[in-house]
Amino acid sequence: MNAPLRIAIAGLGTVGAGTLAALAQNRELLARRCGRTLDVVAVSARKRTKDRGTPLGLAQWFDDPVAMARDAAADVVVELIGGSDGVAKAVIEAAIARGRHVVTANKALLAIHGAELALKAETAGVALQYEAAIAGGIPIVKALREGLAGNRVERISGILNGTCNYILTDMREHGREFAAALADAQRLGYAEADPATDVDGIDAAHKLALLASLAFGARVDFGGVYQEGIRRVTRLDIEFADALGYRIKLVGSARLTEHGLEQRVHPCMVTRDNPLAHVEGVVNAVVAEGDFAGTTEYEGRGAGAGPTASAVVADLVDIALGRRSFTFGVPASELKAQPRAPIERHRGAYYLRLMVADRPGVIADVAAALRDQDVSMESMLQRGRSAQSTVPVVITTHVTEEAAMSKALAAIARLDSMGEPPRTIRIEPV
């Protein structure tokens, strides 16, 4: 049996408490797997006296997590404070500066400072691991960084935010509008009081930026992620999606195109054949396409104490066994700053929903606007008739360029038969 791995944990909220519980509950099992014990020697959190379910034992208490990262006699510092800057960053930097390994669940921080921190860690010869930052209990970082290392990844896509997936599932299953489903998610603890980070796609974008870096050896570029959330998805869109054979999902996807790295997070129409179509509720899923492995898919719970703790402990086991990897799969010094593929260059099919006055000639005007931009219609669906109010008309297009679609949309919006601005949702290929 080798010397224990000495662990300092900064932040004892849900994930921190779950990590303590996993390390305590599976202590003997982990010692067998690692050939050494995993000992929590120091902790830091806001309140010392809170009951966290697992006794802190002999762990040294620090009021200041940065002081802990600097001074505790630890081999590895686990950062579970959160936040894209400030104390979390200071904790990680202090740990690296003292030659301690780092494990973090902090997607926001890594999405912004990941390339820089990876370089610092690799220069200092320490690990910077973050399995818990993406898709909770699914070991997707390990799968991309190691399991698919023999492949050139062609595309990575996924359902990366459980809150949004819960809301969209709830809207479809119970015929609810967004606001009602959000309220429900908040009541159940699946959404925060301020839901913006989740429902506006920011959280998914953080995770996508990290996945794209891993998959393509690119410098993490959160600023390059096109983001659109789910606030504007309506019950009506979900009903039309169903009628057309689609499901609406908030999908993050990234690939290298001739225009550069394309990173997109937005609501998507996916066919029922798409592996992401059947991922429901708070579940996360990631699909990777490799040139040799083909399509592989990974599913599991993306959040919560247990799944996130599972990921944190997996990183600690790697460190305990001396299994070392480059933070983003290749040396941080070799990560390439990829040009950003503009969303205008995106090519795909589109779902277009219009609320129009129900009178002859409207469809002809819309069709002409699409034709003028060389956008080819695939299907048209009008449900319901009303002389008094507007009625919904849905059009799906063949593959076209986003720029052409935008111009056609602008022309359509100017038609005086339009009751409200046209709404589009991108249709994602399988």
Return the number of the residue (3 or 193) whose C-beta is nearest its own copies.
Answer: 3
Q: What minimum distance in Å lies between the beta carbon of 23 and its own copies?
A: 8
Q: What minimum distance in Å lies between the beta carbon of 293 and its own copies?
A: 3
Handedness of CA 289, 295, 298, 302 (dihedral sign): positive
Return the number of the residue (199 or 220) whose C-beta is nearest its own copies.
Answer: 220
Crossing angle of the two packed helices 107-124 and 202-216, in degrees rounded to 10: 30
Q: Across 179-279, where does the E strand assignment appear?
A: 225-227, 246-257, 260-271
What is the Cα–Cα distance from 30 to 37, expressed in whole angstroms? 7
The length of the chain, given as a count of residues: 430
Contacts of 199 (CB under 8 A, 6+ apart): 163, 164, 167, 182, 191, 229, 230, 231
Q: Which residues pair with 255 in a beta bridge?
A: 262
Q: What minimum distance in Å lies between the beta carbon of 378 and its own copies?
A: 26
Return the number of the residue (81 or 311) whose C-beta is nearest its own copies.
Answer: 311
What is the Cα–Cα distance from 427 to 430, expressed in whole angstroms? 10
Return the number of the residue (221 or 299) whose C-beta is nearest its own copies.
Answer: 299
Q: What minimum distance in Å lies between the beta carbon of 216 and its own copies?
A: 10
What is the Cα–Cα distance from 262 to 339, expressed in whole angstroms? 9
What is the Cα–Cα distance from 74 to 151, expressed in whole angstroms? 36
Q: What minimum distance in Å lies between the beta carbon of 201 and its own copies?
A: 24
Return the number of the residue (300 or 342) whose C-beta is nearest its own copies.
Answer: 300
Q: What minimum distance in Å lies between the beta carbon of 35 and its own copies?
A: 7
Return the number of the residue (186 or 296) whose C-beta is nearest its own copies.
Answer: 296
Q: What minimum distance in Å lies between the beta carbon of 373 and its own copies?
A: 38
> Among 89, 207, 336, 407, which one carries the catalytic annotation?
207
What is the Cα–Cα distance from 420 to 232, expressed in whole angstroms? 13
Return the number of the residue (242 or 291) whose C-beta is nearest its own copies.
Answer: 291
Return the number of the residue (222 or 326) whose C-beta is nearest its own copies.
Answer: 326
247 within 8 A of 241, measured Cβ to Cβ: yes
Mapped onto helix, strand or coil, the DSSP state of residue 354 is: strand
3-state helix, strand, coil split of the chain in percent (to 5) is 40, 25, 35
What is the Cα–Cα distance from 298 to 159, expressed in whole angstroms? 10
Angstrom CA distances, 284 to 44, 59, 144, 281, stand at 30, 34, 16, 9
Q: Across 291-411, where does the E strand assignment appear?
A: 294-301, 347-357, 377-382, 390-397, 400-401
Please write down the HEC assignment for all residues of 252-287: EEEEEECCEEEEEEEEEEEECCCHHHHCCCCEEEEE
Q: What minimum distance in Å lies between the beta carbon of 383 and its own copies?
A: 29
Angstrom CA distances, 165 to 9, 103, 276, stand at 31, 27, 11
DSSP structural state of residue 344: G
Residues forming the site for its own copies (CB under 8 A): 18, 21-22, 25-26, 29-30, 32-33, 35, 131, 136-139, 142-143, 146-152, 217, 275, 278, 290-301, 306-307, 309-314, 316-318, 321-326, 329-331, 334
State the DSSP H helix or E strand holding residue 41, giving kind and residue range, or none if neither.
strand 38-44
Q: What minimum distance in Å lies between the beta carbon of 333 and its own copies?
A: 11
* 120 is a catalytic site residue: no
Return the number of the residue (35 or 55) whose C-beta is nearest its own copies.
Answer: 35
Instruction: List residues with catalytic annotation.
Output: 207
